[in-house]
């Protein structure tokens, strides 16, 4: 074998090794920093959020995620968005009837989960915010939540060692404005998509089956619950008085927004996705279990002028039907969503 042939062979081997090493390192880099892209699950309807005005990017998402988990948004640095919206409980404050804000002050209501917000047009129990891009203003400026002002938050971010660079990466310049700040937070929340429960995989024919009890529960649910908890999001997002005894008389629900007597004590119909993990239930967290919720609809309805007409006589439910409905509701738990590292603080 000639020296020239050996030399050419060695060069070829070095070239192949270099190409393989480059490909390996490229794959490693992609694994460390995966591209973030909004998606619509196959069984979901079209989103109502206008993604053309705020397309989700990896840099925008990462900025929004950093802001979501940073106490810098609150007056004394003690409260972040993630304080009241914890991933392991589908981004609610698990176990608290009312959320706890700054100085351990109680908020007015139980925190709703942050999930599938791209499919919602109004937010909070009373629909007081009509645009996801404006969502964060209310908790930041509420005296019993973060007790801060937007101008102060923006100034703190401008003087921060890391955030100007993150804003530049996400938006092209280091300028930190209200619009950019709110859009970054919205990008993180848009990616909080919960669509991989046992139910979802069954509906999408992904090789998952439901038990006979779960299937029976699904049929009972469709007959007796799906008028309000409709569609793949398990809510029609309307506002209804569901017959709860008056708790806090000052919290009149939707009426606080519309100032209409017809909306008194009406609250939003919440999605039932991850309902097993988001207890306690109702706007004030008064009910601690799914059994207690079904008991309320069977025999706990309180008559009032604005009570939803479909609840005038309650919802007849036997003990067996309740057990089967709960078995079905548990199929809506999305463990992948609640453990997704992409959405995690650490």
**Residue 314 pLDDT > 70, yes or no?**
yes
The per-residue pLDDT of the chain, averaged, comes to 92
Q: What is the 3-state secondary structure (H, E, C) of the chain?
A: CCHHHHHHHHHHHHHHHHHHHHHHHHHHHHHHCCCCCCCCCCCCCCCCCCHHHCCCCHHHHHHHHHHHCCHHHCCCCCCCHHHHCEHHHCCECCCCCCCECHHHCECCCCCCCCCCHHHCCCECCCCCECCHHHCCHHHHHCCCCCCCCHHHHHHHHHCCCCHHHHHHHHHCCCCCCHHHHHHHHHHHHHCCCCCCCHHHHHHCCCCCCCCHHHHHHHHHHHHHCCCCCCCCCCCCCCEEECCCCCCCCCCCECHHHHCCHHHCCEEECCCCCCHHHCCCECCCCCECCHHHHHHHHHHCCCCCCCECHHHCCCCCCCHHHHHHHHHHHHHHCCHHHHHCHHHCCC
Q: What is the pLDDT of residues 242-298, one digit of tens each?
A: 999 999 999 999 999 999 999 999 999 999 999 999 999 999 999 999 999 999 999
Higher pLDDT: 139 or 2? It is 139
pLDDT for 19:
45
**Residue 33 pLDDT > 70, yes or no?**
no
21-35, 70-84, 134-148, 233-247: segment of lowest average pLDDT: 21-35
**Residue 18 pLDDT > 60, yes or no?**
no
Burial class (CB in 10 A: 0-12, 13-18, 19+), 59: middle
Structure token pair of residue 333:
């738990």
**Residue 208 pLDDT > 50, yes or no?**
yes
Once rounded to an integer, what is the mean pLDDT over residues 161-184?
Answer: 98
**Residue 233 pLDDT > 50, yes or no?**
yes
CA distance 58 to 237: 30
pLDDT for 95:
74
- Overall pTM surpassing 0.75 (yes/no): yes
Q: What is the pLDDT of residues 40-77, one digit of tens each?
A: 999 999 999 999 999 999 999 999 999 999 999 999 99
**Residue 23 pLDDT > 90, yes or no?**
no
pLDDT for 96:
79
pLDDT band of residue 32 (cuts 50, 70, 90) is very low
pLDDT for 94:
77
pLDDT band of residue 97 (cuts 50, 70, 90) is confident
pLDDT band of residue 34 (cuts 50, 70, 90) is low
Percentage of the chain surpassing pLDDT 70?
Answer: 90
């Amino acid at each position: 074998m000639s020296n020239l042939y050996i030399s050419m062979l060695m060069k070829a081997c070095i070239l192949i090794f270099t190409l393989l090493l480059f490909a390996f390192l490229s794959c490693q880099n992609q694994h460390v920093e995966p591209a973030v892209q909004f998606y619509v699950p196959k069984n979901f309807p079209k989103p109502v959020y206008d993604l053309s005005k705020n397309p989700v990017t990896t840099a925008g998402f990462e900025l929004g995620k950093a802001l979501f988990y940073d106490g810098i948004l609150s007056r004394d640095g003690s409260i972040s968005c993630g304080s009241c919206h914890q991933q392991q409980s589908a981004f609610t404050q698990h176990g608290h009837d009312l959320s706890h804000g700054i100085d351990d002050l109680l908020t007015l209501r139980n925190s709703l989960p942050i999930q599938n917000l791209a499919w919602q047009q109004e937010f909070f129990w009373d629909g007081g915010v009509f645009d996801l891009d404006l969502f964060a203003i209310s908790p930041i400026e509420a005296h019993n939540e973060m007790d801060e002002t937007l101008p102060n938050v923006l100034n703190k971010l401008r003087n921060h060692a890391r955030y100007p660079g993150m804003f530049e990466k996400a938006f092209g310049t280091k300028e930190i404005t209200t619009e950019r700040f709110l859009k970054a937070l919205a990008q993180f929340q848009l990616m909080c998509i919960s669509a991989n429960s046992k139910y979802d995989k069954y509906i999408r024919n992904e090789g998952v089956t439901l038990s006979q009890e779960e299937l029976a529960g699904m049929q009972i649910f469709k007959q007796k619950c799906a008028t309000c908890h409709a569609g793949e999001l398990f809510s029609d997002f309307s506002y209804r008085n569901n017959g709860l005894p008056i708790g806090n008389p000052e919290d009149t629900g939707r009426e606080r927004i519309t100032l209409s007597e017809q909306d008194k004590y009406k609250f939003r119909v919440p999605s039932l996705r991850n309902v097993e993990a988001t207890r306690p239930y109702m706007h004030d967290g008064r009910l601690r279990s799914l059994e207690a919720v079904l008991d309320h609809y069977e025999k706990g309805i309180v008559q009032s002028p604005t009570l939803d007409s479909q609840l005038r006589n309650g919802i007849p439910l036997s003990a067996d039907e309740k057990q089967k409905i709960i078995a079905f509701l548990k199929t809506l738990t999305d463990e992948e969503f609640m453990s997704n590292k992409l959405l995690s603080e650490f």
